[in-house]
Amino acid sequence: MSIYPPTTALYNLRVPMPIPRTPSAPLFNGKYLNDFLEQIVLHANQAGETDKDQMVKYILSYSSDLVKDTIRFMDEFDTTNTSITWDKAKEALRSLYGSYDKPTDYTQEELKEFCKDQSAKSLFSKNSEIELYYRKFIAIASSLKKKGTITDKEANSYFVLGLPHTMKEWFLAALPSQNCTRDNPPTTTESLKILRTRHDKKSPLYEDWNLDSDEKAKHVFDDLGNKITTLHIPRNVLGTNPLDEAAGHTTSGVGRPRATYPPGLVTTSNLNELTKQMESLALAINTMKELQINNFNDSPSTQPPQSVNQQGNPRPYCFMCGMPCGQEGVHPTSPRFCPETNKLIADHFMTFDAQRSRYTLPDGADLP
């Protein structure tokens, strides 16, 4: 007699219900109710249960603490009650959390406003920016289509309208002639395919110098072969320039917009602008010191002004913030103790060269 069962034998492999709060277990936190209930039924069927009324007990077990505290004493979930049913429990949950399964309450005007704002932005420089636009667009458009507010054709047309103005002419030239009207716009999938060809490295028209910032070299090397980290400043950085603040170049109550630089390596002209600003700051500080010292010499009988210490010696001033430093100053004598130093480094106006143990401009040059 063979120890092996006949090959015609059928086996019912049952998978027990997963332990609550484990990675494979369903969890209901108040959102996506229909998905949660479907997962409960699927897991119960794998465990060999087919009676949905017997599955009500799993709802509490696989709910978050907040949901459990809300429903645990409701009659529809009382497991000691023999009259509970799956349909009643499902209806009770829908009355509490059903709105989360409905499409987001967007309006067509919001979609138009979104497309208007997106079209005013700069052209897509990489595929990830195309995908970001698509994700934002589809969240609104799909909700409106689900409610029947717009049709598929209208959604396709809005997707094209939301493309940046600066690349619409190129996009129109790449469209098939039959899709160049509003009556027959390209589908969203076709539009995405066309947009991605602009950054397809296999295309003969792809320009190698238009690399993503993530793919560009992160370092350059000086004449001695030492590695120098290049400076990448994000677009549209606005705020008050700390150098202008110290030199008194701000408008009362309003911070002057800081000069904006495109992503990538800081150019020579930008560094020259920074150098001029720091020279103006140094000149303003030296002029202030000279005026204060002259006032002290002209009036020896008066109280020593703030430009000298109690011994009559000129008080040192901080090169970074322009304030007195040292024993009688606002901070000890050294740029590393000045709060403005960290601000200048955070704003990418200067950096600290650990090899030379000194502060430098972002390109490694000495401070003016």
Residue 356 and residue 246 share a domain: yes
What percent of the chain clears pLDDT 90, i.e. is strictly above it? Answer: 36
pLDDT at 150 over 70: yes
Tell me whether strands 219-221 and 351-353 are parallel, antiparallel or unpaired. unpaired
pLDDT of the residue at 105:
80
Pair 287, 305 in one domain: yes
Residue 237 has pLDDT above 90, yes or no: no
Q: Is the pLDDT of residue 7 over 60?
A: no
Instruction: Among 128, 163, 197, give the residue marking a domain's end.
Output: 197
- Answer yes or no: are the C-beta atoms of 70 and 1 closer than 8 Å: no
The reply to whether 263 falls in a domain is yes
Please tell me the number of Cα atoms within 13 Å of 328 on its side-chain side. 12
Count: domains in the chain: 3
User: Would 256 be classed as within a structural domain?
Assistant: yes
Same domain, 91 and 129: no
Is pLDDT of 233 > 50?
Answer: no
- Final residue belonging to a domain, choices 167, 197, 227: 197
In a domain, 16, yes or no: no
For residue 182, the model assigns a pLDDT of: 85
Residue type, 342: N
Q: Which of 197, 229, 253 corresponds to the end of one domain?
A: 197
In whole angstroms, what is the distance from residue 352 CA to residue 345 CA? 8
Does residue 86 share a domain with residue 112? no
Mean pLDDT of 190-212: 75
Q: 10 Å Cβ neighbour count for 49?
A: 15
170 and 88, same structural domain?
no
**Statement to judge: residues 77 and 157 lie in one domain:** no
**Band of residue 46 on the pLDDT scale cut at 50, 70, 90:** very high
Task: Give domain status of residue 355, yes or no.
Answer: yes
Which segments of the chain does DSSP mark as H helices, in order?
33-46, 56-61, 65-71, 86-97, 108-119, 127-147, 152-161, 165-174, 188-197, 242-247, 268-298, 339-346
355 and 248 in a common domain: yes
- In this structure, what is the dihedral angle of CA atoms 134, 135, 138, 139, given to the nearest 10 degrees? -160
pLDDT-derived band at 246 (thresholds 50, 70, 90) equals very low
- Residue 348 CA to chain centroid, in angstroms? 19
Residues 165 and 262 in one domain: no
Q: Quick one: 113 and 158 in the same domain?
A: yes
Instruction: Summarize the confidence of residues 54-58 as an average pLDDT.
Output: 93
Indicate whether 226 belongs to any domain: no
Say whether both 46 and 81 belong to one domain.
Answer: yes
Average pLDDT over residues 336-363: 79
Whether 221 is covered by a domain: the verdict is no
pLDDT of residue 355: 74
Same domain, 267 and 296: yes
Q: How confident is the model at residue 36 (pLDDT cuts 50, 70, 90)?
A: very high
User: What pLDDT, on a 0 to 100 scale, did the predictor assign at position 209?
Assistant: 62
Residue 227 has pLDDT above 60, yes or no: yes
> What's the average model confidence in pLDDT over 173-188?
90
Task: With respect to residue 19, please indicate whether it lies within any of the assigned structural domains.
Answer: no
Clarify whether residues 76 and 186 are in a common domain.
no
Where is pLDDT greater, at 258 or 117?
Answer: 117
> Domain for residue 184, yes or no?
yes
pLDDT band for 206, please (50, 70, 90 cuts). low
Print the domain residue range for 185: 108-197
Average confidence score pLDDT of the chain: 77
